[in-house]
A and B are shown apart, each in its own frame.
Chain A
Amino acid sequence: MPTLATDTRNAAVDAVTALCNSGSIQFQTSAHNKVAEPTFGATAFNAASGGTATAKTVADDTDASAGTISHAHIFKTGGTDEVMQCTCTVTGGAGDFQISSLVIGAGDTVSVLSMSITQPAS
């Protein structure tokens, strides 16, 4: 199995995060209905370092729809082309996105406090 050098890991992460510029994170129910959609800025992530890139400020969705979050899709700008699908669990679980509550009420605010993407070395 190959082991990626740090520069390689940074390049891999930067290529992925560039796709997120002006994109969004769409939290969906198991039936793929949108619950909330916080949005990335024009430059979504800081440049990767040590194989990890951290997100710049993600704009809250201040008017979510009622539903129970099952998973999340990260979309490119325009909201149709997918970058990746991520798992979601309540905080303390093993999901990619750890959320204070998976059950969202109408009008709730969904706020991404922090986010990072890491390319492992191996």
Chain B
Amino acid sequence: MNEFIKQLSGGVLRLYDAQGVILAVGVLPEDVLASISGEEGDPSHKYVLVDFTVTVYRSGLACYGLIQTANGKLTPKLSCGLAGSGALLILPDAYVVAKTVLIIPGITLIEGQDEFNRQLAAILEKVIKPQVSANVQVIRAADKAKANVR
């Protein structure tokens, strides 16, 4: 997961209203990953991105966000909401006002815990990862000894 989260570095976040109109735009920092906690494969394994800002160009009710990665891939929709709502993009108010700058608090991604992350993995991870297939046989030492006796 760490690999594809790094792909978000330098990406562009756009906030949209329910009709798909762009309300705000911001660029994610090059070092987007703030911290990792927990062991890989553990339910507590989570990634926290750094805080970043977006500039609001048009007033409206923010509904969702999309991040376009530096290499052009588009993430699934990131939900917008107030603190405590469980949304990925935390806004001070759902209604954003033109000509203001909003601070988006660090997004927390918990590996395999929600649909967003599964979709994100599918989009960002699929192309970059090769697939390995191998068959391995174990021959017991005892069996080798028998073969030598014969």
Q: Assess whether B123 is interfacial by the CB under 8 Å rule.
A: yes
Please report the C-alpha to C-alpha distance between residue A1 and residue B131 in the assembled complex, in whole angstroms: 18
Q: Given A2, A100, A101, A112, which contacts B134 in the complex, CB threshold below 8 Å?
A: A112
Known: A1-B123, A109-B144. A120 touches B138 (CB 8 A): no
Interface string of B113-141 (1 = CB under 8 A from A): 00000000001001100111111111111
B137→A111 contact, CB < 8 A: yes
A120→B136 contact, CB < 8 A: no
Q: Assess whether A29 is interfacial by the CB under 8 Å rule.
A: no
Known: A1-B73, A1-B123, A108-B141. A117 touches B131 (CB 8 A): yes
Q: Find the B residue at minimum CB distance from A38.
A: B136
User: In A28-54, which residues have CB < 8 Å from any B CB?
Assistant: none
B139→A91 contact, CB < 8 A: no
Size of the B side of the interface (Cβ < 8 Å), in residues, is 19
Q: Given A4, A99, A115, which contacts B132 in the complex, CB threshold below 8 Å?
A: A115
Please report the C-alpha to C-alpha distance between residue A12 and residue B72 in the assembled complex, in whole angstroms: 19
Q: Given B127, B138, B142, which contacts A1 in the complex, CB threshold below 8 Å?
A: B127
Report B-chain residues with C-beta under 8 Å of the C-beta of A5: none
Known: A1-B73, A108-B138, A109-B139. A122 touches B127 (CB 8 A): yes
Q: Assess whether A57 is interfacial by the CB under 8 Å rule.
A: no
Q: How far is the CB of A4 from chain B (nearest CB, A)?
A: 7
Please report the C-alpha to C-alpha distance between residue A112 and residue B136 in the assembled complex, in whole angstroms: 4
Q: Given A12, A111, A116, A119, which contacts B136 in the complex, CB threshold below 8 Å?
A: A111
Q: How far is the CB of B53 from chain A (nearest CB, A)?
A: 28
Chain A residues in the interface with B (C-beta under 8 A)? 1-2, 4, 12-13, 16, 55, 64, 84, 86, 91, 96-101, 104-120, 122
Chain B residues in the interface with A (C-beta under 8 A)? 72-73, 123, 126-127, 130-142, 144
